[in-house]
Amino acid sequence: MHSPRTGPRADQRLNLARRSGVACNRCRSRKTKCAGTPPYACVACRNSRQTCTYPSSEKKITIPESYFLELRALARASKSQPVETHPEPAEESPTEAGWALAETGNWFAGDSGQYHYMGSSSSNYIANSINPTTETLAWHLHPHYTDSSWIRRDVDPTLPQLPPYEHAKRLYRAQHAYLGTIFSFVRDVDFYQRLDRLYSRPPNVSDREDCLVYCQMLLVFGFGQMYSVNQWVGDEGPPGFVYFKHALKFLPDAHEDGSILFVEVLSYVAYFLQTLNRRDSAYIYIGLALRMAISLGLHQEVVDQAMGAEEREHRRRVWWSIYSMDRLLSLTSGRPFSIQDADINLVLPSRNGDEDPRISSILACYAQLSRIQGTIGEEIYRKKQTSGSNLFTSVHRIMKSLSDWFGNLPEDLRINTASPPTGLSRGIISTQLHYYHCINMTVRPLLLYAVQRQMAANNGPSSHSIWEDGIQSNIMGVIDTSIAAARSSMALWKMAAEYNLVATYGFIDGEQAFSNALLLVMVNIAFPYKDQDASAMNAALAVLQGMAEKGNRYMQACHSLLVRISSNISAIVPANRQNMEASSPRNGTETVLAIQNNDIAQSMGPETGLNQAADDSLGLNSCDDPGLWAEVLDSIGIDMDRQWIESALLRE
């Protein structure tokens, strides 16, 4: 019997793992039809109370050749990828393995054909696994109230003044350059089809998908205007805000049926809200998007063999984009993540057809960094470390992961600041800046501790004491790595400005520029004066000032705050520090990593860059000073938000 909510064809596809065409031995010998459901007894044997056994031969199934080739390519790719160094789980005993629930039958389709996923802990899943019929899990979608008219709310179909058709295409390309290269929320083919739909007829407000299409198109226009404008003097919010306001009118409520398009739209809304500095709302919306994606099973590989390779890749890219955005918005606002890595069973994005291989490489590399970013949030800021040694171990492991990531970075994603390639991709710049930002976030608590120690030393009996006197070299090596990464970021910001690739109003650019400037201000407070550090700090403040002068009010506030803090440096730093020699580096790591005349690819490469520094120069193989790491642990609050550091600096 088929569920009323799924057709026979869908039922057959989704139950390949449970349905069997194998007849039992008794029915086979009697030459009668057998409704075989191994390992359970068939109906005929059960009714006659006979022992029901099945032959041991496995069922052979036919799959499309394209699906076989895709699986083979994925298997080869997984073998060629470096194995990440994670603690190996304890081996399961035979008894424990017997309790494991197989991931079969977790998928089902609703009325619209949209896939849904249910985890193995659900009572519905357990009940259905012992159901002798061929029903899928779709029966659990049956509502208590069949009238669904209450779900839809009235929508005002009024559209804002749309841009000319050709200009709309330019807006799409602008948002794609900054967002689409690292977050895949709308494919080219989908956009141009929906664009024709937008300009050909008014929206059908009674149709949920139509509303989602119009909402997405207006959001794309909003982001396109945001990333196309270098200076804004309008009175109606930042560039793109008018499109965003109208887009919200078409946004369906969260209690309506989910879809991949709905997930994409919610993610766009979350990011625009974050750009408006509405952090709470952004966190809520990205949580909605991620939970809807989980309910659709985007975090798992699909078992349906009839699904094409292109659609599978689309699902993967949407998932990893949501994942990366959730990690980004959660970490920068100091909140827990919405999903753990252990719950994800999905390969990273890979090349789709004959597209430019850099497209999938950027998405995959960015997602890998987001994984590391999740570890930073959990182990440095969120996890309640029991000792300073545990914190040291976490920092060591994260820096090693970042080193491995850079060492495995494809050659066509590396940047040479001395002779940058023609047609430089903003996606490559975004990926590199994300990498340096991860280093920044890892070491920032240690730098705050250094600032607090130096301020305490300034107020001590010897006004010329330096907090780092007597500190182990491994700790100074970690700090020097972050300083070199901050300088490398400034080299990238300078290059991006020369190519007009700085997003004046974009959230990520503003967040990373502010975080970088904050770190360099802390460096100039905590350490003896050096021309390199002071110049890098001034350059970082100039980036913020440029954004502020072009109309970014939030960056104006951030810049003013750092100027107030940095203006007190001369008062807090002992007088003799300002006359210290600036030519000698603190250790060899700084010489290796500093971006001076060499290009980033050289100085940060696998032979001489962070790879070597993390393993050798930093000396992170042992915790030489557990007492100091314990003090650093005490200085870390439960909030990873950068405002925590700002408040601490102002209190001092």
Q: Is residue 199 part of a domain?
A: yes
**Cβ distance 256 to 114 under 8 Å?**
no
- Domain contains 144: no
pLDDT of residue 61: 63
* pLDDT tens readout for residues 498-532: 888 899 899 999 999 998 998 898 888 888 888 88
Tell whether 291 and 413 lie within a shared domain.
Answer: no
414 and 344 together in one domain:
no
Q: 299, 332, 357 — which closes off a domain?
A: 357
- What is the mean pLDDT of the segment spanning 383-397? 71
Task: Find out whether 536 and 520 touch, Cβ atoms under 8 Å.
Answer: yes
Domain end among 357, 377, 392 = 357
Structure confidence at residue 454 (pLDDT): 74
Phi and psi at 147, nearest 5°, equal -75, 115
Question: How do residues 96-133 score in pLDDT, each as one tens digit?
Answer: 333 333 444 565 555 555 666 655 555 555 455 555 55
pLDDT of residue 533: 86
| Domain, as residue range, for 426 | 406-651
Indicate whether 144 pLDDT > 80.
no
Q: How many domains does the chain have?
A: 2
Mean pLDDT over 65-70 rounds to 70
Per-residue exposure over 297-313, b if at least 16 CB sit within 10 Å of its own CB, e if not: bbbbebbeeeeebeebb
How large is the average pLDDT for residues 607-631? 43
The answer to whether residue 392 is domain-embedded is: no
Domain identity same for 319 and 456: no
The answer to whether 486 and 523 are in contact (CB under 8 A) is: yes
pLDDT for res 617: 35
**Cβ pair 64, 305 in contact under 8 A:** yes
Residue 176 within a domain: yes
Q: Kindly state whether residue 115 falls inside one of the protein's structural domains.
A: no
Residue 443 has pLDDT above 60, yes or no: yes
Name the more confident of 469 and 83. Answer: 469
| pLDDT score at 260 | 95
Q: Is residue 642 part of a domain?
A: yes
DSSP state of 618: T
The residue-averaged pLDDT of 466-490 equals 77
Residues 192, 288, single domain; the answer is: yes
Same domain for 411 and 264: no
Q: Is the pLDDT of residue 153 over 50?
A: yes
Question: pLDDT tens, 88-98?
Answer: 444 444 333 33
CA–CA gap between residue 338 and residue 11 (Å, rounded): 32
Residues 304 and 443 in one domain: no
Check residue 60 and give its pLDDT: 58
* pLDDT tens track for 284-324: 999 999 999 999 999 998 877 778 889 999 999 999 999 99
Residue 300, classed as helix, strand or coil, is strand
Residue 44 in domain: no
Angle between helices 553-566 and 531-549 (to 10 degrees): 150
In a domain, 294, yes or no: yes
More confident residue, 61 or 398: 398
pLDDT at 611: 38
H helices of 142-259, in order, are 165-175, 188-200, 208-228, 241-250
